[in-house]
């Protein structure tokens, strides 16, 4: 794939992400990507990705440990750089999580992270697998009313307070937000880097914003 110059992507390295697979996907799509945890690394990029595999507690602790919260707040609110949170990364952008009640999230988006409650006996937790995702408003990722299939793997889910921040939802268990977007802050519960064609398309749409 031809390298697209002038667009630099930074994956935030806070020891809580499956960085290798995300980096592979972004490079496969032809973008220049840097894995960073420094202020200068974040400053130098055009768009950010906050990955996430792990617990809410681990995520917030690691962000604090690396002094990343201030660097990220500046990039997101002052420099207005787009940022995409993936799975745990998206969850950390909310206020709190049932998974780690003693820890506050970044509070960039109104909402909480709730435990997935099975709707019936056949409803397994964690929610693992390819599931339908419904886009409910106009957005840059897929047309309104469209349905895509992405790979999910999580025991806690996004509960977004303001309907206007919800871009897509998934009906598993009692249903939850699959994609949220508020200004330059975007989050997805699924793993686009592991969702093959549809996921790579989602990622490409973010990278081309």
Partner 1 sequence: MICKRIVSIFTYNKGCLYRTKQFEPDYPYTSSFLDCWWADEIVALDITREAPIDSKQHFYDALEKLSKTCFVPLAAGGGIKTIEDVDKLFELGVDKVVVNTQAIQDPQFIKKIAQKYGTQAVVVSIDAKKDCDSSRYTVYINNGTTKTMMTPLEWAKIAIAHGAGEIMITSITEDGSLNGYDEALCQEIVQNVSVPVLISGGAGNWKHFEKGFLEIGADAVCTSNIFHFTEASMQNAKNFLVKKNIPIRL
Residues interacting with partner 1, by CB under 8 A?
18, 20-21, 24-25, 28, 53-55, 58, 88, 118, 121-122, 124-132, 149, 151, 153-155, 171-172, 191, 193-196, 199-200
Integer-rounded Cα Rg, in Å, for the chain is 16
CA gap 120, 115 in Å, rounded: 15
Q: Is 193 a known active-site residue?
A: yes
Based on CB atoms, which residue is closest to partner 1, 115 or 164? 115
Based on CB atoms, which residue is closest to partner 1, 21 or 112? 21
User: Assign residue 87 a region: left if phi > 0, alpha if psi is -120 to 50, beta otherwise?
Assistant: left
* Shortest Cβ 164–partner 1 spacing (Å): 27
* Shortest Cβ 11–partner 1 spacing (Å): 13
Based on CB atoms, which residue is closest to partner 1, 76 or 88? 88
- Sign of the C-alpha dihedral computed for residues 41, 89, 169 and 74 taken in this order: negative
Is residue 39 a contact partner of residue 15, using CB atoms and an 8 Å limit? no
Q: Is 95 a known active-site residue?
A: no
* Shortest Cβ 72–partner 1 spacing (Å): 22
Single out the catalytic residue among 16, 45, 87, 170. 87
Count CA atoms within 13 Å of residue 169 on its CB side: 16
Single out the catalytic residue among 45, 148, 170, 193. 193
Single out the catalytic residue among 127, 154, 169, 191. 191
CA gap 34, 199 in Å, rounded: 20
CA gap 82, 99 in Å, rounded: 27
CA gap 81, 21 in Å, rounded: 23
Q: Is 127 a known active-site residue?
A: no
Based on CB atoms, which residue is closest to partner 1, 75 or 170? 170
* Shortest Cβ 182–partner 1 spacing (Å): 25
- Catalytic residue annotation: 87, 191, 193
């Amino acid at each position: 794939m031809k390298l697209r110059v002038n667009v630099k992507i930074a994956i935030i390295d806070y020891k809580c992400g499956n960085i290798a697979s995300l980096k592979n996907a972004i490079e496969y799509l032809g973008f220049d990507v840097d894995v960073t945890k420094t202020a200068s690394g974040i400053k130098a990029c055009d768009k950010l990705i906050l990955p996430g595999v792990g617990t809410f507690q681990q995520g917030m602790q690691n962000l604090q440990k690396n002094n990343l919260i201030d660097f990220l707040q500046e990039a997101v609110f002052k420099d207005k750089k787009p940022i995409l949170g993936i799975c745990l990364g998206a969850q950390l952008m909310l206020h709190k999580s049932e998974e780690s009640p003693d820890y506050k999230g970044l509070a960039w988006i109104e909402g909480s992270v709730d435990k997935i409650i099975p709707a019936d006996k056949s409803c397994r937790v964690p929610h693992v697998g390819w599931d339908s995702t419904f886009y409910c408003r106009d957005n840059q990722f897929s047309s309104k009313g469209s349905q895509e299939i992405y790979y999910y793997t999580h025991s806690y889910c996004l509960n977004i307070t303001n309907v206007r921040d919800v871009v897509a939802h998934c009906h598993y268990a009692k249903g939850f937000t699959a994609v949220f977007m508020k200004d330059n802050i975007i989050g997805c519960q699924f793993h686009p880097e592991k969702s093959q064609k549809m996921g790579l398309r989602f990622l490409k749409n973010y990278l081309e914003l």
